[in-house]
Amino acid sequence: MSIAYSLAAVVGAYLIGSLSFAVIVSRAMGLADPRSYGSGNPGATNVLRTGNRVAAVITLALDALKGYVPVVLAFIGAEHHHWWGDGTVAAVGLAAFLGHLWPVFFHFKGGKGVATAAGVLFGFNPLLGLATLATWVIIAAFFRYSSLASLAAAAFAPFYQLLIWDADMFALAIFVMSLLLVWRHEGNIRKLIAGTESKLGHKARPS
């Protein structure tokens, strides 16, 4: 029975992660589809390129929450009801992240997963989330590139987990998320090298 519960939790987390809030919020607020301008990425940074900061903040918050909430609920199931162990909690976080990358409700074409990964990290360990967020903020403040800040945060998150906490199932999930984040930023890496990457707050017209 615990295996069935674990599977249901992981599938549920994936479905929650599949809610592409950049598209949903943009439609609700009468904005252009974020997949039609800028980087084409359905995420908060691209929504910000419309100049609508409220929409971007809402998208950021909801994308983070869809990573955070499933993990917290999974911890409750593990600690209070003993439905599963830490391995399932780690899998739930990874599933929510994968849902954002490959959302079943949006033809498996999702975003890069930065906000959702942050939400997962805060769910795993608030201190780890804060350390990773601080890394993002410092890099973004100095260089004004969201992609560079995200790459730095992705690189440091697994090391924070391994050096300060444990080499456990959470570390494995974090490592996988970090690898996928770097992979999803391949185009941004090319633009950073070429000096053509857009900076934070840069507006983009719909294509």
Long-range pairs for 151-159 at CB < 8 Å and ≥24 separation? 151/181, 151/182, 151/185, 151/188, 151/189, 153/114, 153/118, 154/117, 154/178, 154/181, 154/182, 154/185, 155/182, 156/131, 156/132, 157/117, 157/121, 157/128, 157/132
Cβ atoms 112, 39 nearer than 8 A: no
Strand partners, 18: none
Q: What pLDDT, in 10s, does the model give residues 23-69?
A: 999 999 999 999 988 778 899 988 988 889 999 999 999 999 999 99
Q: What is the pTM of this model?
A: 0.93
**Among 19, 18, 17, which residue's Cα sits nearest to residue 27?**
19
- 190 Cα distance to chain centroid: 21
Token output for 102: 């490959």
Q: What is the DSSP string of 133-160?
A: HHHHHHHHHHH--HHHHHHHHHHHHHHH
Q: Where are the domains of the chain?
A: 2-194
Per-residue confidence in pLDDT tens, the chain, 207 aa: 588 999 999 999 999 999 999 999 999 999 999 998 877 889 998 898 888 999 999 999 999 999 999 999 999 999 888 889 999 999 999 999 999 999 999 999 999 999 999 999 999 999 999 999 999 999 999 999 989 999 999 999 999 999 999 889 999 999 999 999 999 999 999 999 999 988 876 655 544
What pLDDT was estimated at residue 207?
43
Q: What are phi and psi of 37, to 5 degrees?
A: -150, 170
* 31 DSSP assignment: P
What pLDDT was estimated at residue 76?
95
